[in-house]
Amino acid sequence: MAGLYVLVHGAWHTGAEMDAVAGHLRKYGHAVHCPTVAGNNAGDDRDKIGLEQAIASVTSYIETNNLRDIWLVGHSYGGMLISGVADRLTDRIKRLVYVNAFVPLDGQCLNDMVPPHYVGLFDAVAAANKNAVMLPFEIWRDAFINDADLELAKSAFAKLNPHPYRTFTDKIALKRPLAELPVGKSYVNCRQDIALPHSLPWHPRLSERLGLFRLVECDGSHEMFFSSPARLAQAIEEAARD
């Protein structure tokens, strides 16, 4: 059945990096939107944009384009965003699909869910770069895109952009737990994803916060949007069906 997808990117990305997966979903007959979130556009002030503005930009995109019955997909940091959007636009969403994404509790920030060594790295980088953060290539290559060859890893990294650190430190406000939202929920778990260490896993540590949810697993890294877009599109469609 053809559906309507909104793909919400993760940190350091824009909607353009979702295009390869979106293309495969369109081949399946679906309509797909890939907005760029506030804070990741070329001219955005990384020092001033926080989590609420980022969430509001996706909410505004959905309302401006009058999108309804959405399969709302969030990758990584995008999980923070789709959680906030779902809290505000519940009646427009058919199903939430988290792709190795953060699933927050009310009052939590993204940094509450990552290992301390990442928080220390982010703090130091943000302090030296006007509150914008970027991962060193060496960390991103091994932890985020370990299923790609070096050429692809370098070309993908070149597309990333500095990210507003306030979106990692601002606490999300949710009117009710995500498990209580009257929408479908799914979690896509990419098995070789070590962006978070397997001692602090994406699944089941974060996925179980969704309550009743559909689990779809596939082989791949955190950055399958670059390294294996066809397989990731298939997994997303499996997660979003009915």
Give the residue ranges of DSSP H helices in 32-108: 51-64, 78-88
**Termini Cα distance of the chain:** 8
* DSSP H/E element including 94: strand 93-99
Q: How many helices (H) does the chain have, and how many strands (E)?
A: 9, 8
For CA atoms 5, 6, 10, 14, give the dihedral sign: positive
**What's the 3-state SS for 131-187?**
CEECCCHHHHHHHHCCCCCHHHHHHHHCCCCCEECHHHHCCCCCCCCHHHCCCEEEE
* DSSP H/E element including 9: none
Enumerate the β-bridge partners of residue 184. 95
Q: State yes or no: is 76 an active-site residue.
A: yes
Tell which residue, 74, 75, 83, 73, has the closest CA to residue 51.
83
Q: How far is CA 236 from CA 62, 142, 173, in A?
A: 20, 24, 27
Q: Which residue of the set 57, 76, 221, 227 is catalytic?
A: 76
List active site positions.
Answer: 76
